[in-house]
Structure 1
Amino acid sequence: MVVTFVIGNTLYIDGGEENLVLNGVQTGQQILNYTLAIDLSSSFYTFPNDNSINVKVIEKGDCPNFNNIRFWVDSRNNIVYAYGGEISFLTPGSSLEYALVPLESLWAFTPNATGGTWKSIDQYDSVWDKLTRPVNGLTASGALGGFNLGGYSDSHTSQKTDIPGNVPVPGLQFFNFTSQKWSNNSASDYYGTGTALFGGMVYVPTWGSAGLVVILGGQTINPQVGLPGGARLVPLSNISIYDPDAQTWYYQLATGDVPEERGSFCVAGVRGGDNSTFEIFLYSGRQGSNQQVHARSDDDIYILSLPAFVWFQVEYTPTDPRFFHTCHVVGNRQLLSVGGLNPSLPNVSLMWHDTDPYAGGLKVFDMTTLNWTNYYNASAAPYVPSDPVMTYYESKSRYPPEWNNPELGKLFIAPTSNNTNTANTSPTSTTSTTTVGNSHYARHSNIGPIAGGIVGGIGLVLAIFGVRRFCRPKPKEDGGPEAEITPVVSRIYLQGEVQELEDSNPLPPYEVGPGLPHELDEVGILEMGSGFDAGGIHELDAGPRSSKE
């Protein structure tokens, strides 16, 4: 995936690889060891030849470069934590990758007036010591801390996994921003496996004493079978909810215009104008279990509105499908999509060399009027739900026809959470002058069209004449400006294609149970026993109690 995060009025893009094309000549694949920053306090156009997007290049110092990192945004303390990821397949010594992977470490980014700085955060937590670095898990963050569900490990993610194949990483890891403590919940009540890939996660601060975590779509993996054969798509009619206070899992049947099963989409959430609703926007992605190649993808947007748990499909003419992209709620009411590959093209090479129709690969969608625009408005009006959503609540019940667990209904019907922070999602994304190949990275540069895509992070030429296809990620298979970038395809997910889900062996539509609650000593501090290692997962030290009925 593209690796991006938003904090304050800045979009940051970090890590990955690039292949520069200067005057029609490729300079070759390179690991990009910089963090890029795009100012969101000023408006800009996204026409392909527009150069109004201002970019800063921030040096990372000793911070290691990973593909597909996950970011947790602590808005209250103005800091971002980097978790997970894998080293580039361009790293020398391809037969000994695991020996070259940096040891598990937690890095934090703090923005400042000149760009920002990366710093390693020492960890003295017994749970942290047992964690294995995952990649491609589902991630979100909020006032409490950062969450990561699932992912997998291999010889490019951790020295603890010295095998070439993918090992599913079960469990829900949580990092508490206040206590700086770690926990690892088995998440066994999530489809009985605690595993997840290519789906979406959103932290919803509106309900529950500590907010709620909503998980949707993507895949879950049978750990006994592993990858690729054990992967199964999760129906988007089945919404999983995790209560971090009670450490309880729920599911809820969603109705309406339910999207087709898919993965590699992006999601972002926003509160309704009076905080009475919360809308989750899902954009594009790939249908089918094979998330690398030959999977169908549609250019579409769906809205899941809570607390009704109703899907709405946005009506517009599809022209630009994407997968492995990210999106964020910015400028009050705008959904900003960053990067992505065009899956409608017949092969991966064409995907990487395709020219993005939007400057910098940045697409802007107005979440209230439900229109794509070619303009980011830094002074846009506040978000209010769109007409279809408002009309539904005016004429229908505010809640689902039936709660799949009455205890879940109590969370939504009870007074709203005291949490006031915004929801940060991810899956699931430092200033100087630097020279990379023959391309000069200036302190302030403008970006134009971009061709190709980033590898697990970004591919961006900050040259005088602009770039093409900004922020395209890396699948795991195998007439523009004078200076343009063509990021190349890396080999992420090379361990085989995920098998299609057979009709004779589908996931049960409502697999997730009510969960097994565990007591917390203190609200918002999730001390969840021991962690897991490459050999498996450990249950919480405190034994499970009977489910709430």
Structure 2
Amino acid sequence: MVMLTKFLVVVVVLGGSGQGLGAGRAAKDQLHTVLAKRDIVPTADQFLRRAAAAAIVVGDYVYIDGGEVSWLQDGRTGPHDHPSYTVNDTLSLPLSQSWDTTSAPFQTTPKSAPLLNRQAIWRDPENTGFYIWGGATAYSASPPPAGIWTFITDGAGGGSWGKEDTRGSAGVALENMVRATDGAWAQSKDVGYYIGGKATKSTDARVIGNDAMIPLSGLTAFNMTSGELTNSSTAGLSLYGTLVGGAAEFVPFGGSGLLLFLGGSYAPVVTSTTQWATVDFDSLTLYDPSRRMWHSQQTTGDRPSKRERFCVVGVQGPNNTYEIFMYGGITTADYKTSGDVYILSLPGFVFFKAAPSSSSTKRAEHACVLAGNRQMLSVGGIDVDLPFPEIFFDPDPWKNGLGVLDLTALSWGTRYDATARPYESPEVVRQWYASGGLASVKWTSDTVRGLFAQAAPPGTTSGPTKPPTDDRPSTGTADPQDPGSGGSSPSNNNNARLVGGVVGGSLGGLIVLGFIVWWLWRRHKKPNDAPRTREEHPGSPNATSTSSRRFLSRMLSPHSPASRRTISPDRMSSPSVIRSPSWRGRRLRRSNGRGSILETDLEAISSQ
């Protein structure tokens, strides 16, 4: 019998080498530090690759933050064991004027916040700045304490960084939360959402072991107006409530908006390399934040193969549709880089694949934003088909790593057009609705059908300022954290109403690193459901891999002899409230919820 009393649990996993987007050695840390003190904005001719950056539109600018970049220095590439360097500036590009990607007019603002890869980024409700949440350090750099950083724009492409100050606060400070990376994130106008992700040595110093990787469950919601930070259960998201490498989009349906999840992988919170399962696109998981209800809906059309690390952009159609554009990523069946573009149109839940284009390029670890009226701007990306370090030495086919996709014509180009015509759904989408495709949708329940018969009020979702589960039927799964949520009543809305709306207009503690404690094995309940698919994850020791695959799979999956026992959400607890000094005078609070990611004491928990 082992007694655990008032201590912080730290997960120890042995073996492996480096973390982050590089497999660099400690011997290069000093060089990395020196270079990080210089501006790293290579010219178009010097530029090689950009990866793992975040991008967002605020006002008349798109801001690019974080990630790594490689470039030619005196005509030569960087060291083989350190081919890229973290970006120490926040970049911006204007959207009020047209420009070509070969001569993109970057502006730079020195960054005083931590230099991180794969951050979540949320626009503030006033459209005057953005927040950064999560992320991982590169190479062997030590991760900073968890925190919310904010960039306040100056209206001219620049701005300044600030940090939430939790010093002297009562209860558990924000800095004691576990930083995650590779989660799915999205936002409404007022609330930023972060779902799942993983904790590693590069995200939190309390994780020990170079290849340690802990999938995280829980949905973190940050109300940017009130300052309230909450965490709720993700039991309805996947078999284990975890998601790594997927994407989320906040779509304007259901009265107050819905979260829709795409792609990625999932595994138990305590896992081994053989316990990964990948998410298909045959049905999609939805979450209604206003009712705390989980739903699923099957899809039709030309569905994407299973994939991770793609980018998504959502845009409101003029006829009550909402299109989500997916670009690139890594296909999990063969671990190849994709250059495909897929369109998911709602409320039809139908996928379309854009025709192949010689101007498109395959890439992963990139970011995308809706720029101007009807263009998607792709930022950065690498080709993981190449071995490491060639993934950073291979010149990007696109100058400055920028690509522009006309979302209506589905054509790639090199010019951002500030005067582009307003967005219209692509022709193939318009034809599908015009031919009565919506009437063929097989809804999983009246509840889901009802959600997509009602659009969210204007201003509920947050977009750029320029443009306007499984297959079993379900009536919705209530979030058990909310005892009053219950199941939604079946809606009286029907397909005819949907058709009228869409076609009529023309004819989207610590999670506890924790609490990793030894519970009696007999108390562990075997899940009733099985994953839709269980396949060997590309990061598993038995998977065929090049050096590039091994390099990237370390970021995706665990390489450890860790216990295969799982910690279910109901084994997790947390303090009910965090009280801290506020950013801009606000008080940051954290209401009680399962799947907590807050540090807390463990009181007399025993196990064999």
TM-score band (shorter)? Answer: 0.7 to 0.9
Q: Report the Cα offset of residue 284 of structure 1.
A: 1.7
Q: Report the Cα offset of residue 102 of structure 1.
A: 1.7
Cα distance between partner residues in 2 of 1:337 and 1:327? 4
Is 1:396–2:443 an aligned residue pair?
no
CA contact (8 A) 2:59 2:155 kept: no
Larger Rg: 2
Relative distance call for 1:362 and 1:491 in structure 2 (3 A) is: same
1:122-145 Cα offsets, whole Å, 9 max, x none, are 356869576311011011112131
Equivalent residue, structure 1, for 2:315: 270
Is 1:64–2:114 an aligned residue pair?
yes
TM-score by length of 1: 0.72
CA contact (8 A) 2:145 2:175 kept: no
Equivalent residue, structure 1, for 2:130: 80
Cα distance between partner residues in 2 of 1:19 and 1:335? 23
Is 1:36–2:86 an aligned residue pair?
no
Q: Which amino acid aligns with 1:270?
A: V
1:347-401 Cα offsets, whole Å, 9 max, x none, are 2333211222222111111111111122110111110111111111111243552
Equivalent residue, structure 2, for 1:368: 408
CA contact (8 A) 1:183 1:531 kept: no
Query: SS of the residue aligned with 1:215?
Result: strand
CA contact (8 A) 1:151 1:195 kept: yes
Q: Which amino acid aligns with 1:362?
A: L
Equivalent residue, structure 1, for 2:100: 45
1:30-75 Cα offsets, whole Å, 9 max, x none, are 43322111222211123xxx32x111110123x2212221111124
Equivalent residue, structure 2, for 1:483: none
Relative distance call for 1:349 and 1:31 in structure 2 (3 A) is: closer
Identify which of 343, 346, 349 aligns with 1:303. 343
Aligned residue runs from structure 1 range 108-257, under 5 A:
108-113=150-155, 115-123=158-166, 128=174, 131-164=177-210, 165-204=212-251, 206-224=252-270, 226-257=271-302
Cα distance between partner residues in 2 of 1:150 and 1:352? 28
Q: Which has the higher helix share?
A: 2
CA contact (8 A) 1:332 1:383 kept: yes
Query: SS of the residue aligned with 2:72?
Result: strand
Q: Which amino acid aligns with 2:338?
A: D
Q: Report the Cα offset of residue 286 of structure 1.
A: 1.4
Cα distance between partner residues in 2 of 1:17 and 1:334? 25
1:327-355 Cα offsets, whole Å, 9 max, x none, are 1111111111111112444x233321122
Q: Report the Cα offset of residue 262 of structure 1.
A: 0.9
Equivalent residue, structure 2, for 1:516: none
Cα distance between partner residues in 2 of 1:82 and 1:494? 24
Equivalent residue, structure 2, for 1:326: 367
Q: Report the Cα offset of residue 297 of structure 1.
A: 2.9
Relative distance call for 1:60 and 1:73 in structure 2 (3 A) is: same
Query: SS of the residue aligned with 1:348?
Result: coil
Is 1:15–2:71 an aligned residue pair?
no
Relative distance call for 1:23 and 1:218 in structure 2 (3 A) is: same
Q: Which amino acid aligns with 1:7?
A: V
CA contact (8 A) 2:338 2:364 kept: no
Relative distance call for 1:201 and 1:526 in structure 2 (3 A) is: farther
Q: Which amino acid aligns with 1:529?
A: G
Is 1:24–2:75 an aligned residue pair?
yes
Q: Report the Cα offset of residue 216 of structure 1.
A: 0.8
Percent of aligned positions with the same letter in both sequences?
30
Q: Report the Cα offset of residue 119 of structure 1.
A: 0.3
For structure 2, list consecutive stretches of 5 or more residues without a partner in the other structure.
1-51, 465-537, 541-547, 560-588, 603-608
CA contact (8 A) 2:234 2:241 kept: yes
CA contact (8 A) 1:130 1:531 kept: no
Query: SS of the residue aligned with 2:376?
Result: strand
Q: Report the Cα offset of residue 227 of structure 1.
A: 4.9
Cα distance between partner residues in 2 of 1:238 and 1:231? 19
Q: Which amino acid aligns with 2:275?
A: G
Cα distance between partner residues in 2 of 1:212 and 1:134? 23
Cα distance between partner residues in 2 of 1:415 and 1:168? 34
Q: Report the Cα offset of residue 203 of structure 1.
A: 1.0
Equivalent residue, structure 2, for 1:532: 596
1:227-250 Cα offsets, whole Å, 9 max, x none, are 532221101122111111001111
Identify which of 408, 420, 426 aligns with 1:380. 420
Q: Report the Cα offset of residue 406 of structure 1.
A: 1.8
CA contact (8 A) 1:197 1:220 kept: yes
How many correspondences in the alignment? 432
Cα distance between partner residues in 2 of 1:118 and 1:58? 9
1:403-453 Cα offsets, whole Å, 9 max, x none, are 1122111111135434354347xxxxxxxxxxxxxxxxxxxxxxxxxxxxx
Equivalent residue, structure 1, for 2:378: 337
Q: Report the Cα offset of residue 180 of structure 1.
A: 0.7
CA contact (8 A) 2:125 2:224 kept: no
CA contact (8 A) 2:217 2:234 kept: yes
CA contact (8 A) 2:172 2:599 kept: no
Q: Which amino acid aligns with 1:57?
A: T
Q: Report the Cα offset of residue 162 of structure 1.
A: 3.4
Cα distance between partner residues in 2 of 1:420 and 1:497? 36
Q: Which has the higher strand share?
A: 1
Relative distance call for 1:141 and 1:528 in structure 2 (3 A) is: farther
Cα distance between partner residues in 2 of 1:409 and 1:157? 40
Equivalent residue, structure 2, for 1:105: 147
CA contact (8 A) 1:15 1:67 kept: yes
TM-score by length of 2: 0.66
1:259-286 Cα offsets, whole Å, 9 max, x none, are 1111111111000014x10000011211
Query: SS of the residue aligned with 2:255?
Result: coil
Q: Which amino acid aligns with 1:365?
A: L
Identify which of 285, 288, 292 aligns with 2:332. 288
Query: SS of the residue aligned with 2:448?
Result: helix
Cα distance between partner residues in 1 of 2:183 and 2:238? 15
CA contact (8 A) 2:304 2:342 kept: yes
Question: What root-mean-square deviation, in Å, do the aligned CA atoms of Structure 1 and Structure 2 show?
Answer: 3.1
Cα distance between partner residues in 2 of 1:127 and 1:279? 39
CA contact (8 A) 2:214 2:558 kept: no
CA contact (8 A) 1:228 1:498 kept: yes
